[in-house]
A = this chain, B = another copy of it.
Amino acid sequence: MPARTPVDTEEIGYDELALAARNHGMPLEALRYDITPPGLHYTLVHYDIPWLDERDWRLSVTGLVTAPGEFSLDDLRALPSRTVRITMECAGNGRARLRPRPVSQPWLVEAVGTAEWTGVPLARVLGEIGMARGAASVVFTGADHGTERGVEQDYQRGLSLEDALNEEVLLAYEMNGAPLPPQHGYPLRLIVPGWYGMTNVKWLRAIELTEAPFTGFQMLAYCERQDADDPGEPVTRINVRALMVPPGMPDFMSRARIVRPGPLTLTGRAWSGHAPVTRVLVSTDDCRTWQPATLTEGGSRWAWRGWTFDWTATPGRHVLAVRATDAAGDTQPIGQRWNRGGFANNAVHRVALACIP
């Protein structure tokens, strides 16, 4: 019998399954690609994918601006563009491995992907419009619409003006050199390098400059809380994390891994939205001892780095693990860091396998 990845057996509800059937992660063998191919990048859609045509679509920019304005996609394409390669991860990645399990989109560890996004810097668009005195915050509104905990809403998120004016914050109209796929925000998506996915508002239709920080539903929802009364800490940048391409071959149903005895090279990727990844450690004895992996491609500042580690598999059961550290000094915890929403989890990735002659 192949070994099983160590998760317990608390079962998943139909609500969670309905989300898992719509949204999807990146199969971990796709960690091999520098740029995640179309359709393999993770995607999470809060409501429905809106039915939009760029010919009818406009971006409105209002609020504390010199003069409110509207942009067509051609207007935005006419402005100087920039391309940024980023690794994006869902704030709920790893949620379904927490105990007790927060009930929402039940991600295991696959909610990640790396893409090149092309668009116009937001700072440039705000420069065209002109910011009025007192503007300190920006509200971004997507075209997707639905209810969440009884609140009917367009999907909306806010950023401080300081974070929004970073020159790498883009209004992106291309993903990997092609128009955005519908599920990734066609025709326009906010891209904020280093931040969890919820910040990167899809199907962007409106930008409003305000004096006060935005405190709408999604700002309150994406907070780390220990209990319902906890005001919570906002979820912002992506915590350091490494993942491994599961070695060997899988069993179809259980996804358990089987390898043959002998030398093999473990590979994977590591990233952080806080600071560059500086170290990746691998354990072949379920986190008891650790040895350094070799860091390979540097990638861009915001994209994952590759790592490799040579190992000789011996017959028996093994649990491999990988753990990254970034230049901010953060290291992945071995145990789970729990909060009610299951956000910003970055426990080490463990892969159980059976080595069979």
Contact = CB atoms under 8 A, between A and B. Distances in A.
B47 A252 contact: yes
A336 interface: no
Per DSSP, are chain A's interface residues mostly helix, strand or loop, or mixed?
loop
Contact of A30 (B15, B23, B49): B49
Interface in A37-51: 37-41, 43, 45-49, 51
B39 A43 contact: yes
A193 B230 CA distance: 56
A141 B249 CA distance: 17
A19 interface: yes
A344 B144 CA distance: 33
A194 B29 CA distance: 30
A349 to B, nearest CB: 14
B23 A12 contact: no
Given A11-B11, A182-B30, A252 B46 contact: yes
A148 B252 contact: yes
A107 interface: yes
Nearest to A256: B147
A228 interface: no
B47 A249 contact: yes
B19 A21 contact: no
A327 interface: no
A261 interface: no
A27 B184 CA distance: 13
Nearest to A178: B38
A17 B249 contact: no
Contact of A250 (B40, B47, B108): B47
A9 interface: yes
Nearest to A23: B24
22 contacts: A11-B13, A12-B16, A12-B17, A15-B254, A17-B96, A17-B108, A21-B96, A21-B106, A21-B107, A22-B24, A27-B49, A27-B183, A38-B38, A39-B39, A40-B182, A48-B246, A104-B253, A146-B250, A146-B251, A147-B250, A147-B252, A149-B253
Considering the complex of A and B, which 4 residue pairs feature the smallest CB-CB distances, nearest first? Answer: A39-B39, A11-B11, A24-B24, A12-B12
